[in-house]
Structure 1
Amino acid sequence: MLTSMLTRKLAVAVLGPRMSYGNSGAKGGGEFTHKLYFDPRADQSDTGGYWITDDQLREKLANLIDTEERIQKASVYSHPLSSLQVTNALLFHAFIIMETNNWWWSIEKNSECITIQRSKKLESVRDMYQRKKRTTGFGPLTKIRKNETTEGGNTTIKELINYIWRKDCLNDVYHLLEANCQTFAAMVFDRIKSPYNDQVYFDEAADQPRYSANSCYMNVDQVFSEVQRLSASETFTRLEIYKVSIKSWNIPDFFVPNFLVLFRQISGFFLHHYFVIFETDEGTYWSFERLPTRFTIQRARNKDILLKECQRKSRDTFLVKANLEKSNVAVWQDMNAVLEFIWKGKIRDIFYLPAAFCGQTALRIYDQFKRK
């Protein structure tokens, strides 16, 4: 509920103080289909579009477009809901227009679906919706109107698709007040304008030399892209969970709440950190863990590195080794499934657990991905 309230406030800031809850681009009514309609050449009459489900979203779009294109600019547009209107001020449909080096794009939500259109011509996505003219009314106050523009913030099309996917937008049923065209447009515009600082430490070759560990930090949507690329041919075969004493854990005290610092100084042997290591059929290993300030994902061919180091620093300042707690055959999945389990709403409460319970993340992952 809090999230929806914040989104509505953002929509007011972006789209204006008087919101309407319109449900149409060129169409209105109907039941939400939980699908995305993609038109790759909206400026050509002899091409058609694709209907894509949530399960197909990232892979199918990646096969249809160059997902590495970077968004140069994005704008919020609006138009009236009815041709009988004399102004857009109260009732309007909102959508986003994006510009990349090679294309113009539109993205929007209505009561039927989410639609993405691509064209070489701005007017084909700005003035048209699924090959039909957008609604306009009487006079200059009911034209298609640009409301606000932002720079692209170095966001790629793929990152934006990942964001829409992990926010479960296709499964978020259209709602007149809390999940309408304007809240969706505001959410997309805000993501492009101010990329979320939900940084993850991701090291795809933790056992290989690297110039700087700083280059391992990236946002969640970038991590989804990198993991999708690397794990496409890697399937889990086994998983293990390890325990290491927090007293020996090489993390500065300023990352840890004061009460935990004091407690670990007095009785550090009671507190432990847990992390998971997956083995794959390609002879690679992945570690996944939550630290007090962020998630850390590492990949290597040398498993010992993952046991001895976290973020290229030793885990064992007092020569206390990580101990194997559990081991099991893994389900036939890959690291993409782990990311979905964490970030697509399966265990949302894990983000609110205090640092002292970081190990709960590893334990839940182990229970989810062990062979039953």
Structure 2
Amino acid sequence: MSPNKKGVLAGDEYTHKLYFDPRADKADTGGYWITDEQLREKLSDLIDTEEKIEKASVYSNPLSSWQATNALLYHAFIVMETNNWWWSIEKNTEGITIQRSKDIKSVRDMYQRKKRTTGWTPLTKIRKNETTQGGNTTIEELINYIWRKDYLNDVYHLLKENCQKFAAMIFDRIKSPYNDRVYFDEAADEPRSSFNSYYMNVDRVFSEVQRLSTSENFTRLEIYKIPISSWNIPDFFVPGIFAFLFRQISGLFSHHYFVIFETNKGTYWSFERLPTRFTIQRAKNKQILLKECQRESRETLLSKANLEKSDVAVPQNMNAVLDFTWKKRNLEIFYLPVNFCYLVALGIYEKFKRN
């Protein structure tokens, strides 16, 4: 871990892979090396991704057995508790490692089946530094977060992308779930129910969309354009100060744009950028998506939707749209001006139309 070693400082040894050991407490089992492309699908096959994190703690241990203290030089990692398992997650010069066990010692005291480094004084034992409740974060949401933030492709760097920074980001995500909210309605043409869901964080949206759209391939896509009425904006659409700003901006940008996809299973998906959030809706009745947004009439705010563009779509699904929109650092689009609804819709249209 010495900064004099170029490979450690610059990440020359980094594999861009995640090592997952599903039973770190069993001698007769082994682990899996998983790439970024395989991350969500393969881990979903190996574990119960719906497990909720009950507690999470930041642990540390010294980098060298010669240290007298690990106050400054230390490796940081996260230990999580769910109803059925103990988990650890961490990053080092090789990649990211996730371990799972029925026994906390197998993930807290061991790394890839070897004892973690400890020093020669009482100040260099494996130490718990901070603990938080897990809230409603699931293992799957955490995996989606790691994938979405592209952490597997962030090459390890002793100063910039190290174990401590990674542990802090994972701990903060569990402690304060990511606040970028999306309105998601999986059955917009059916009566309201607890299954429809609505506002949720982005990482849960990835899970819900994956559940629904894996077998649905796009056949056609369209962009719709609606003139905006700047004098009649209901509260559900733009709350508070955003309503005032929206009225000012709408004088310059007088149309709202959104995309609708048709699938080979007879379903339709709409995707649109609203002033303060994104909305994703799914229905068997396309007319509902044209007439309503978030179960309110579009004509309350807007006029009738007009078809702007239409084309044959590439045979992909809504998972690919989310990948295109939110992978890596693309969440900055949450904070772009309202007129970016056109750029978002056009970008998706150009990406997923058949050339």
TM-score scaled by length of structure 1: 0.88
Q: State the AA in 2 paired with 1:329.
A: V
- The partner residue of 1:308 within 267, 270, 291 is 291
Q: Which moved more, 1:207-216 or 1:233-242?
A: 207-216
1:342 Cα deviation after fit: 1.1
1:345 Cα deviation after fit: 3.2
1:367 Cα deviation after fit: 1.0
Q: Cα distance 1:291–1:259, how it changes in 2: closer, same or farther (>3 A)?
A: closer
- The partner residue of 2:126 within 144, 149, 173 is 144
Residue 205 (structure 1) aligns with:
187
Instruction: Say which SS state the counterpart of residue 107 (structure 2) adopts.
Output: helix
C-alpha contact 1:88 1:141 (8 A) present in aligned 2: yes
1:220 Cα deviation after fit: 0.4
Instruction: Say which SS state the counterpart of residue 363 (structure 1) adopts.
Output: helix
- The partner residue of 1:261 within 229, 247, 251 is 247
Q: Distance in 2 between matches of 1:321 and 1:307?
A: 8
- The partner residue of 1:83 within 62, 65, 81 is 65
Q: Count how many residue pairs are aligned between Structure 1 and Structure 2.
A: 345
Residue 308 (structure 2) aligns with:
325
Q: Does 1:127 align with 2:82?
A: no
Q: Does 1:66 align with 2:52?
A: no
Instruction: Say which SS state the counterpart of residue 355 (structure 1) adopts.
Output: coil
1:260-303, CA deviations, whole angstroms, 9 ceiling, x for partnerless residues?
A: 41464xx58x6100000000010100000010010000000000
Q: State the AA in 2 paired with 1:261.
A: R
Q: Cα distance 1:89–1:235, how it changes in 2: closer, same or farther (>3 A)?
A: same
1:179 Cα deviation after fit: 0.8
Q: Distance in 2 between matches of 1:243 and 1:89?
A: 59
Q: Cα distance 1:190–1:318, how it changes in 2: closer, same or farther (>3 A)?
A: closer
Q: Does 1:286 align with 2:269?
A: yes
C-alpha contact 1:35 1:114 (8 A) present in aligned 2: yes
Instruction: Say which SS state the counterpart of residue 358 (structure 1) adopts.
Output: helix
- The partner residue of 2:282 within 282, 293, 299 is 299
- The partner residue of 1:357 within 326, 340, 344 is 340
Q: Does 1:40 align with 2:26?
A: no
1:246 Cα deviation after fit: 1.4
C-alpha contact 2:187 2:196 (8 A) present in aligned 1: no
Q: State the AA in 2 paired with 1:48.
A: G
Q: Cα distance 1:33–1:319, how it changes in 2: closer, same or farther (>3 A)?
A: closer
Instruction: Say which SS state the counterpart of residue 239 (structure 1) adopts.
Output: strand
Instruction: Say which SS state the counterpart of residue 146 (structure 1) adopts.
Output: strand
Q: Distance in 2 between matches of 1:222 and 1:350?
A: 18
C-alpha contact 2:68 2:123 (8 A) present in aligned 1: yes
1:328-369, CA deviations, whole angstroms, 9 ceiling, x for partnerless residues?
A: 011121101111111113755533421233222111111111
In structure 1, stretches of 5+ residues that fail to align are 1-19, 24-28
Q: State the AA in 2 paired with 1:323.
A: N
In structure 2, stretches of 5+ residues that fail to align are 6-10
Q: Which moved more, 1:362-371 or 1:274-283?
A: 362-371
Q: Cα distance 1:227–1:215, how it changes in 2: closer, same or farther (>3 A)?
A: closer
C-alpha contact 1:22 1:180 (8 A) present in aligned 2: no
Residue 338 (structure 1) aligns with:
321
Instruction: Say which SS state the counterpart of residue 79 (structure 2) adopts.
Output: strand
1:103-158, CA deviations, whole angstroms, 9 ceiling, x for partnerless residues?
A: 10000000101000000101000110001010001111000000000001111100
- The partner residue of 2:142 within 160, 164, 172 is 160
1:175 Cα deviation after fit: 1.4
Q: State the AA in 1 paired with 2:336.
A: L
Alignment of 1:205-284 (within 5 A): 205-211=187-193, 215-247=197-229, 250-252=233-235, 254=240, 256=242, 258=244, 260-262=246-248, 264=250, 271-284=254-267
- The percent identity for this pair of structures is 74
Q: Cα distance 1:368–1:128, how it changes in 2: closer, same or farther (>3 A)?
A: same
Q: Cα distance 1:214–1:227, how it changes in 2: closer, same or farther (>3 A)?
A: closer
Q: Does 1:31 align with 2:16?
A: no
Q: Distance in 1 between matches of 2:245 and 2:184?
A: 29
Residue 8 (structure 2) aligns with:
none
Q: State the AA in 1 paired with 2:286.
A: K
CA RMSD of aligned residues (A): 2.3
Q: State the AA in 1 paired with 2:320.
A: A
Q: State the AA in 2 paired with 1:70.
A: K
C-alpha contact 1:201 1:297 (8 A) present in aligned 2: yes
Q: Distance in 2 between matches of 1:318 and 1:226?
A: 28
TM-score scaled by length of structure 2: 0.92
1:22 Cα deviation after fit: 12
